[in-house]
């Protein structure tokens, strides 16, 4: 990740909460200070639907591990 792609933590958690509210993620507690997020079945279906949609427009590109 380059410096220009750093995660904005001020937006990360509200965005995660939005995904929880939409039923795409489930939020749990790892410990008193750390939340954990898992993809729900609905979230998996949405990801698969997106991949299918993208595959109509984007060629399958092989990326080498060094790029």
Average pLDDT, integer, range 13-22: 96
Q: Which residue's structure tokens are 């997106």? A: 50
Average pLDDT, integer, range 24-34: 94
Q: How much is the pLDDT for 56?
A: 86
Can you give the CATH number for the domain in which 33 is found? 1.10.10.10
User: Across 5-9, 28-32, 38-42, 60-64, which has the greatest mean pLDDT?
Assistant: 38-42
- Calculate what percentage of the chain has a pLDDT beyond 70: 84
In-domain check, residue 7:
yes
Q: How much is the pLDDT for 55?
A: 87
In-domain check, residue 47:
yes
In-domain check, residue 19:
yes
| Residue-number span of the structural domain to which 16 is assigned | 3-55
Q: Which two structure tokens, joined as six digits, stand for 66?
A: 């060094």
In-domain check, residue 33:
yes
In-domain check, residue 32:
yes
Q: Does pTM top 0.85 for this prediction?
A: no
Average pLDDT, integer, range 22-40: 95
Structural domains in the chain (count): 1
């Amino acid at each position: 990740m380059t410096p220009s792609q750093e995660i904005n933590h001020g937006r990360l958690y509200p965005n995660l909460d939005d995904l929880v509210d939409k039923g795409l993620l489930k939020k749990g507690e790892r410990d008193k200070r750390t939340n954990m997020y898992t993809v729900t079945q609905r979230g998996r279906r949405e990801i698969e639907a997106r991949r299918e949609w993208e595959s109509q427009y984007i060629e399958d590109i092989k990326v080498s591990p060094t790029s």
